Amino acid sequence: MSARPAATATSSAAVESADPCCAAPLPVLGRDVTVPLVTGGEVTYAALDYAASAPALQRVWDDVAAYAPYYGSVHRGAGYLSQLSTDLFENSRVTVAEFLDCRPGDQVVFTRSTTDSLNLLAQVIPAGCEVFVFETEHHASLLPWQGARVTYLNAPRTPQQAVETLERALADRDPYGPALVCVTGASNVTGELWPVKELAAAAHAHGARIVLDAAQFAPHHPVSVRELDVDWIAFSGHKLYAPFGSGVLAGRADWLQESEPYLAGGGASKKVARRADGGVDVEWHTTAARHEAGSPNVIGVYSIASACKALTEAGFDSLVERERHLIAKVRAGLAEVPEVRVLSLFGDDAPRVGVISFVVDGWNSSHFAAALSAEYGIGVRDGLFCAHPLVRTLLGSDPQDPGECGAPEAEPGERSLNAIRVSFGAGTPDEHVDRFVRAVRELVTQGAKWQYRTESGRCVPAV
């Protein structure tokens, strides 16, 4: 399928008919893109896969475009553009620290993504450190700790159970040495908020540190490192309406300063000299630059800072209120379809962000997602969402049951070990979620209007 900007399309923000108590959606890039339907005609694309990658805020795109002609090397040039770019890069670090409400002395390290940030942290933990992580985590939080002792905790069914489970595990660790807890702020599968502040208190009470995976949290809620009392926080620009290839690891400096650089090379080194024996001595930076070797992605970093400013200026109170309005619409609509089962750890009343996963009786989830796209112009995600243990637990499957993220293992119409995820945020208009709810109802009651087949691991319309 092709996609193109509509020459005469009306801005979705202009026709927004949201509840008057809620603010209008923020302008995002691509809000007027139209896509063809397999049944004929075109429709404005409904991007409802924010949990994978959120569209760029128009403000972010405009800021990047305004800076692009002035692009220059960072920390390496005497010319005007290099000096300007260096200032932009370092000022972006300040902006991110303010957005996260970091403590004095905390470092903000720019990375490629949340995954990169947590892999960096995994490389700097002290020898003998034991890592505690719930099986409910995204693979970015679940997998980087392969060189350490790792204790995987079973999925809790209440926030209080999460805290109690962690407390028991930390108290029982043997030997009672350094420990690190890794936990999400909001699930990328269920959208449910985790009791981060309480988990941080439990970790510190037992002599452990904690890192917060805020990939799904920071785009939806204000984040305060100080208030939550976490030691580090990691997130990605591409989920924060700044999809230009950068991420952040922010927090305590000591482990970062005491370790070898994540990458060795220019920028991380402060001084390099030959020794008399022919070798090389290296003095590494003790600032964030220690783990930022190579030419930095100044455009990606600036885009994150721009997004932080845009969200702060828009006001998280109004953004959260609007998102709750959309969540209520989607959940109420799905509740009216008996064949739909929404996946949840903590129950219907748990606070959450705009991430909802579900399965439909009698449907292969990949088939259902394909029909949403081809027949309604709606983009969602299907699969195991890079959180295989959690989705398997929620679906009640055996760990050995076949199933793969994003690849249907069954023919269209047959049950499969995967789910459908709809996700939205600051740029989502009411019409998109209204169309989604209507599409779910029509597909369940009337069936798909088109035939589908599996091709290269994806369910696609049969032409």
Q: What is the 3-state secondary structure (H, E, C) of the chain?
A: CCCEECCCCCCCCCCCCCCCCCCCCCCECCCCEEEECCCCCEEECEECECCCCCCCEHHHHHHHHHHHHHCCCCCCCCCHHHHHHHHHHHHHHHHHHHHHCCCCCCEEEEECCHHHHHHHHHHHCCCCCEEEEECCCCHHHHCCCCCCEEEEECCCCCHHHHHHHHHHHHHCCCCCCCEEEEEECECCCCCEECCHHHHHHHHHHCCCEEEEECCCCCCCCCCCHHHHCCCEEEEEHHHCCCCCCCEEEEECCHHHHHCCCCCCCCCCEEEEEECCCCCEEEEECCCHHHHCCCCCCHHHHHHHHHHHHHHHHHCHHHHHHHHHHHHHHHHHHHHCCCCEEECCCCCCCCCECCEEEEEECCCCHHHHHHHHHHHHCEECEEECCCCHHHHHHHHCCCCCCCCECCECCCCCCCCCCCEEEEECCCCCCHHHHHHHHHHHHHHHHHCCCCCEEEECCEEEECC
Per-residue model confidence (pLDDT) at position 398: 67
User: Which residues carry out catalysis?
Assistant: 386
With contact defined as beta carbons under 8 Å apart, do 379 and 46 qualify? yes
Per-residue model confidence (pLDDT) at position 406: 45
Per-residue model confidence (pLDDT) at position 399: 60
With contact defined as beta carbons under 8 Å apart, do 429 and 18 qualify? yes
d(CA 205, CA 197): 12
Q: Cis ω on the peptide bond leading into residue 159 (within 30° of 0)?
A: no
Per-residue model confidence (pLDDT) at position 20: 54
Per-residue model confidence (pLDDT) at position 81: 97
Per-residue model confidence (pLDDT) at position 301: 98
Q: Which residue has the tokens 């390290």?
A: 109
Tokens of 241: 């309406």
Q: Which of 220, 159, 190 is nearest to 355 (CA)?
A: 190
Q: Which of 67, 62, 64, 55 is nearest to 28 (CA)?
A: 55
- Which of the residues in the chain have pLDDT under 50? 1-18, 405-409, 413-414
CA 199 to chain centre: 20
AA identity, residue 442: E
Q: Which of 58, 51, 54, 50 is nearest to 32 (CA)?
A: 58
Per-residue model confidence (pLDDT) at position 463: 80
With contact defined as beta carbons under 8 Å apart, do 192 and 352 qualify? yes
Per-residue model confidence (pLDDT) at position 168: 98
With contact defined as beta carbons under 8 Å apart, do 19 and 25 qualify? no
The size of the chain, in residues, is 463
| Percentage of residues of the chain with pLDDT beyond 70 | 91
User: How many alpha carbons fall within 13 Å on the CB side of residue 384?
Assistant: 26
pTM: 0.92
